[in-house]
Amino acid sequence: MKKIAISIGDLNGIGLEIALKAHQEVKALCDPIYCINETMLQWGAALLGVSVPLDFKTIECAEEFFEITPGIVSEKAGKASFDSFVTAVALTKSNNVDAVVTLPINKEAWSKAGIIYKGHTDALEDMTDKKAIMMLGCDKLFTILFTHHIPFKNISEHVKSKTLTKFLIKTYESLAVENIGVLGLNPHAGDGGVLGDEEIKITKAINRANDELGKNVFFGPLVPDTAFTQKSLERCRHFVCMYHDQGLIPLKALYFEESINVTLGLSLIRTSVDHGTAFDIAYKNKNPSVKSYANAVKEAIKLSENRSVLDF
């Protein structure tokens, strides 16, 4: 059974509640190791009015004891969530576990704690000295973002044939999945250059990537407004998107509660829930969904089982 390190996230949010609620389901899938100090675990469980399962295996982190304040952005909670994450990554890098699954952090809390990273992904890039690829989705649909957190007005300048070719090849090497659709950037995928010429570069990248791989893995460029119809989803379930909202709007409209975040292209496997800390419902017995968390664990297990074909 695979060992998975669980980074517990911001303790002022719903991460701990989700971990406790889903423990029996997760325990049936893998051997989870929760990166949280026993004192903080017992404190959080008491606030939730639940008992900690006897087989809830933990590992001590560098975090210091602090008072959990549900729904509040806190420097100490930010530091604790970062310490939990660092512990989980260290376990994975030392091969003591097979993958990391992260529960939600609060970026403002990280900033208050003086942490230089905006979030998990850029921290992982620094920790592994590799450029990450962001993939989000679920079994029914995965969107792979060529660009993500950049202003919309700057997207077209990033669409370059050589850069996209390398991105496509790395995507295939990370996933070992064939039949991946690639979206165009412009309406109607440019209409043959009438509405923009970026699709010419995208086509070159698709052809070069397929040539280098020696098989037709990628196809497109697809018209963005029809790429996610039911007919298209019957053809494939992985799509390379040119920018953040192009991939996330259809994903969250169709599969909001089920979707997860997967970091590809690194020297370790990391998956995450695709939702935030939900401060508004933390410790209020609002019964938060565990679908995203359970799916993140399942995908981490799947990727770790395919480790030999990943780009390490």
Indicate whether 63 pLDDT > 70: no
| CATH 3.40.718.10 is right for the domain spanning 1-131+267-312 | yes
Average pLDDT of the residues in 130-154: 93
| pLDDT value for 307 | 63
Average pLDDT of the residues in 132-144: 94
CATH 3.40.718.10, the chain: domain bounds? 1-131+267-312, 141-257
Indicate whether 200 pLDDT > 80: yes
CA distance 44 to 245: 35
Q: Which CATH class is domain 141-257?
A: alpha beta
For the chain, the average pLDDT equals 93
Q: What is the H or E stretch that residue 142 is in?
A: strand 141-145
pLDDT digits (tens, 9 = 90+) for 164-186: 999 999 999 888 888 999 999 99
In order of 133, 173, 238, 268, 306, the CA distances from 182 in angstroms are 15, 16, 9, 25, 23
Average pLDDT of the residues in 74-86: 96
pLDDT digits (tens, 9 = 90+) for 16-59: 999 999 999 999 999 999 999 999 999 999 999 999 999 999 99
What are the start-end ranges of the H helices in the chain? 15-21, 23-27, 38-48, 75-93, 107-112, 120-128, 155-158, 161-175, 198-213, 230-235, 244-255, 291-305
Name the pLDDT band for 310 (thresholds 50, 70, 90).
Answer: very low
Name the pLDDT band for 64 (thresholds 50, 70, 90).
Answer: confident
| Helix 120-128 × helix 75-93 angle, to 10° | 40
- Residue bearing the bigger pLDDT, 269 or 149: 269
Q: Which pTM does this prediction carry?
A: 0.89
- The two beta strands, 218-222 and 141-145, are unpaired
